[in-house]
Structure 1
Amino acid sequence: MPAHIGRPEIALAEHRVTTDALIEHVRATYRHPDDPSRPHRSMAVWERLMRNSGVQQRYWSRTLPEVTQPVGVAQRAKNAFNDALDLAETAAQRALDVAGLDPGDIDAIVTSHTTSWSVPNLDVHLIERLGLRPTISRMPLATLACSGGAHALVRALQYTQARPGGARVLVVVAETLSTIYHQREQTPQSMIYRTLFGDSAGATVVTGIHQGNAADLKGCIIDDGFELAMPNSRDRYWGTIDEQGLHFDSTRAAASAAADALPYVKEWLGTRTVEWAGVHPGGPRIIDDVIEGLGLDTGKHGRHSHTSLAENGNLGGAAVLDVLRRTYDEPPAPGAEGALLAFGPGFTVAGAYGAWA
């Protein structure tokens, strides 16, 4: 049984931070060890990496001076979760409003959140904040990071498929990725990540399709999900935590990880047609490798991913929802078949296949 993904709603954080502002901050902060009147000797390399990120601006839940303060893991985690929760509530309420549903109409909630530690997590907090039924089914996902949005859609699809009468599932993904910015870090990878990420939440309602509501649903209809933990790939990128907070790190192998995963994706797709694709905007190379690997045109079929990356940065698990939102605004032709794909630490892949109604 297929399911309908409603037009996602995205809640961006409050503070707009341009890449130019970040570069100037780095230039002013890190000075040459032998001559403090000059920029750091690696500044030219850092600036090139930051500008090659494909991000022109991103939105953070706190100002640049606040983000760069070494406040310690406890305060940093508390801020990150509270900010993510506020964004999640906003996006979820908008998604309910767009779907024309009351909180009591929702049968299950799937959440994904990685950038701070909290027990209970988003699911329990949102039940209270949104007024969802206390007996609602809960599927809280953690540590998925950038693949969280697509993975949540797969779980929502599976939930609806197990209920022939049709179910309504609220999917909510929130990440405050600015929390990984640490002033003391001066590696090339840290310069890339501090430039790449933005804070946001995304939400949508996934509705099981049955005979009574099939004619009323327009937009993205999915009927198959995909999950991959690519063999021998844990060296691509990962997260760690210390007394300062959460960190992301990676090796050079991360750059080719999406392309390396494509044979598995193609095996899943088989002979099915791919006329459109919503690809996680993890970076310019990820977008282009996947779009080209699927036999599509990067300029045409990768434009929503590239625009999302440029305007908002990599939003982690919510990013693929932002790409789908943009696809709703410029939809493929009715009946066009395609896939949503996202990539996360591990190296993992999650995807959904369907058609446009």
Structure 2
Amino acid sequence: MIHLGSHRVTTDDLVDHIAASYHDPNAPHLPHPRMGLWRRLIHNTGVRQRYWTRPLPEATKRTSVGERAKVAFGDALELAEAAAREALHVAGLDPGDVDAIVTSHTTSWTVPGLDVHLVERLSLHPTTARISLTTLACAGGAQALVRAMEYTKAHPGARVLVVAAETLSTIYHQSESTPQSFMYRALFGDSAGACIVTGVTDDTPPAGFVATDPFELVVPNSRDRYWGAIDDEGLHFESTKAAARAAADAVPYIADWLGDRPREWAAIHPGGPRIIDDVIAGVGLDEKQGRHSHDSLAENGNLGGVAVLDVLRRTHHDPPVPGDPGVLAAFGPGFTVAGVYGTWA
């Protein structure tokens, strides 16, 4: 289940806001001389719209790191609770039926984390097992599925609630004017996603994505690709030109993991058009298999750790042929990869 921020911000809205906010430093009545470049960067992200938890003027105003983090976590928690409740309802589960919860949240610092807050808000049993992932960013949703899969293998029949939530609009800072800062503020949207992972037993026949083999990778010598940084204004994402080829650098490792196993479909993290296309081609699929990722990116933006869960949701609505094997994969700062191979039931 996916819950988006309540404020729709189109790419045209964003471009207009930036054009009105940045002017030629030598002639304030004129547009900024780099506005043409910024406009191209923003449109090249492939995002038509994104949804933020706060309206554009409020999300982009300057504020303290403390206030920004407080608002970002509060909004993420509201989205996470809504997504989790819907996931439980669709699965026909009561809160007491949940054996474990795996959460992923990166975009605001808090202690205790999302896991503890959700145990209380959802009235989960106080002894519910918790796995809290806090620094994985875009890889969070896939990594949470890997951890949930491991839990169900160790506890046959267990029911694991997976929840990822990110308020990525918090990385928008008016003081920044680097090309990558405009790309990131155009890419990201706010959301939460949740699903139930259940170990297959005789009493619970498989349905949907049946995960069979997890994958985790830290690409060697890749910490220069992109990373997070915190200053007096809040959280920023930084990157170098090497970030553009990071997913392609990971593809040989993914291909080696997959080996000669067949694959007929893929749920790839929509981090950007190039990431989707590089990975789809790298695992031997045609561009049609990237449609759900491209649609998610265009309609919602890059949702960080939630993004691959949105692609998986779209795959459920337009499913592969039962029995078809496929792969799910997401990428995060580091440069890291989390993936799962399995079949569609």
Q: Would the TM-score normalized by the shorter structure come out above 0.5?
A: yes
The corresponding residue for 2:268 is 279
The corresponding residue for 1:218 is 207
* Aligned partner (choices 95, 106, 115) of residue 123 of structure 1: 115
1:333 lines up with 2:333 in the alignment: no
Deviation at 1:37, TM superposition (A): 1.7
Percent identity among equivalent residues? Answer: 68
* Aligned partner (choices 316, 319, 343) of residue 331 of structure 2: 343
Q: Take 1:101 and 1:219, find their aligned partners in 2: how far apart are those partners?
A: 17
Deviation at 1:218, TM superposition (A): 2.0
The corresponding residue for 2:131 is 139
Deviation at 1:295, TM superposition (A): 1.2
* Aligned partner (choices 253, 258, 264) of residue 253 of structure 2: 264
* Aligned partner (choices 20, 36, 40) of residue 32 of structure 2: 40
Q: Which amino acid is 1:80 matched to?
A: A
The corresponding residue for 1:310 is 298
Greater RCO between the two (CA within 8 Å, min separation 6)? 1
Q: How many residues align?
A: 345
Q: Which amino acid is 2:165 matched to?
A: A
**Deviations 1:92-126 (CA, angstroms, capped at 9, x unpaired):** 00000010000000000000000000000000000
Q: Which amino acid is 1:96 matched to?
A: L
* Aligned partner (choices 117, 138, 145) of residue 153 of structure 1: 145
1:207 lines up with 2:198 in the alignment: yes
**Deviations 1:323-354 (CA, angstroms, capped at 9, x unpaired):** 00000000000100011000000000000110
The corresponding residue for 2:8 is 16
* Aligned partner (choices 67, 71, 85) of residue 79 of structure 1: 71
Q: Take 1:292 and 1:38, find their aligned partners in 2: how far apart are those partners?
A: 44
The corresponding residue for 1:5 is none
Which runs of 5 or more structure 1 residues have no equivalent in the other structure? 1-8
Partner-residue secondary structure (3-state), 1:255: helix
Q: Take 1:233 and 1:274, find their aligned partners in 2: how far apart are those partners?
A: 27
Q: Take 2:175 and 2:25, find their aligned partners in 1: how far apart are those partners?
A: 14
Q: Take 2:248 and 2:312, find their aligned partners in 1: how far apart are those partners?
A: 21
1:111 lines up with 2:91 in the alignment: no
The corresponding residue for 1:240 is 229
* Aligned partner (choices 267, 279, 282) of residue 290 of structure 1: 279
Q: Which amino acid is 2:169 matched to?
A: S
Q: Which amino acid is 1:280 matched to?
A: H
Deviation at 1:212, TM superposition (A): 2.2
Q: Which amino acid is 2:166 matched to?
A: E
The corresponding residue for 1:52 is 44
Q: What CA RMSD, in Å, does the superposition of the two structures yield over aligned residues?
A: 0.6
Q: Take 2:293 and 2:204, find their aligned partners in 1: how far apart are those partners?
A: 31
Deviation at 1:163, TM superposition (A): 1.6
Q: Take 1:254 and 1:49, find their aligned partners in 2: how far apart are those partners?
A: 15
Contact 2:266 2:289 in 1 (8 A): yes
Partner-residue secondary structure (3-state), 2:302: coil
1:179 lines up with 2:176 in the alignment: no
Q: Take 2:102 and 2:213, find their aligned partners in 1: how far apart are those partners?
A: 17
Partner-residue secondary structure (3-state), 2:201: coil
Please report the TM-score for the alignment, with normalisation by the length of structure 1: 0.96
Q: Which amino acid is 2:78 matched to?
A: D
Q: Which amino acid is 1:175 matched to?
A: E
Deviation at 1:69, TM superposition (A): 1.2
Q: Take 1:248 and 1:213, find their aligned partners in 2: how far apart are those partners?
A: 42
Partner-residue secondary structure (3-state), 2:115: helix
Partner-residue secondary structure (3-state), 1:157: helix
Q: Which amino acid is 2:74 matched to?
A: N
Q: Which amino acid is 1:226 matched to?
A: F
Q: Which amino acid is 2:139 matched to?
A: S
Partner-residue secondary structure (3-state), 2:30: strand
Partner-residue secondary structure (3-state), 1:44: helix
Partner-residue secondary structure (3-state), 2:8: strand
* Aligned partner (choices 188, 191, 200) of residue 182 of structure 2: 191
Partner-residue secondary structure (3-state), 1:11: strand
Partner-residue secondary structure (3-state), 2:45: coil
Which runs of 5 or more structure 2 residues have no equivalent in the other structure? none
Partner-residue secondary structure (3-state), 2:108: coil
Query: Displaced runs of 4+ in structure 1, greater than 6 A?
Result: none
Partner-residue secondary structure (3-state), 1:302: helix
